[in-house]
Amino acid sequence: MDLTRVTYCGLYCGLCSNLARTPKQASALLETLVKDGMEFWGNDDQKALLKELRKLADIPKDFTGCRGGKCGDPGCEVRKCAAGKKVEVCSSRAEYPCERLDSLAKTYPILLADGKRQKEIGLEKWIEEQETRCKTGFCYADIRCPSG
């Protein structure tokens, strides 16, 4: 089972707008600007914009997500704890949910419900459901609550 797009806390990377929505929109805008000739006649700021859009449009082939430590908060306590305890995902622990997930659950209101679902149907089936969810265009940003 490929867990590359499953975070330790139980989010699914495919539902992150940084992987789902933003690359598509950046790619569409990039295509328009290139078609309009901005590469040739644009000023320095516009050419810098093209460069940044290319970065946003490109999802790295070697994406390792949360598990690779290259996505999300570098000091994430949930990641440190789960990796240290060698668990695939927090919902597999008897202590789920723990206090480390409290603030994250306030930001991502479906986090705990998804964790419960992971326990009910198993991680593999849950990943399949998330892939189906991805096809609807849903992203966590649609329901994410501001932190603080």
**Rounded to 5 degrees, what angle do the CA atoms 103, 113, 64 make?**
70
Pick from 8, 11, 18: nearest CA to 77: 8
User: Can you give the pLDDT at residue 147?
Assistant: 65
Spans of the chain below 70 pLDDT:
147-148
Question: What is the spatial distance between Cα 61 and Cα 50, in angstroms, rounded to a whole number?
Answer: 20
Structural domain includes residue 1: no
User: Can you give the pLDDT at residue 69?
Assistant: 77
Question: What is the spatial distance between Cα 66 and Cα 88, in angstroms, rounded to a whole number?
Answer: 12
Structural domain includes residue 5: no
My answer on whether 83 and 49 are in the same domain is no
My answer on whether 56 and 87 are in the same domain is no
| Tokens representing residue 21 in the block | 């929505």
The H or E element that residue 113 is part of is helix 111-121
User: Can you give the pLDDT at residue 42?
Assistant: 86
My answer on whether 117 and 84 are in the same domain is yes
Residues 113-141: tens digit of each pLDDT: 999 999 999 999 999 999 999 999 999 99
Structural domain includes residue 131: yes
**What is the count of structural domains for the chain?**
2
My answer on whether 82 and 147 are in the same domain is yes
Contacts of 49 (CB under 8 A, 6+ apart): 33, 38, 42
User: Can you give the pLDDT at residue 25?
Assistant: 94
Structural domain includes residue 7: no
Determine phi and psi for 12, rounding to 5 degrees: -115, 115
Handedness of CA 91, 126, 108, 89 (dihedral sign): positive
My answer on whether 101 and 142 are in the same domain is yes
Pick from 2, 120, 124, 18: nearest CA to 68: 2
My answer on whether 142 and 87 are in the same domain is yes
Q: 12 by DSSP, 3-state: which?
A: strand
Domain span holding position 55: 12-60
Structural domain includes residue 2: no
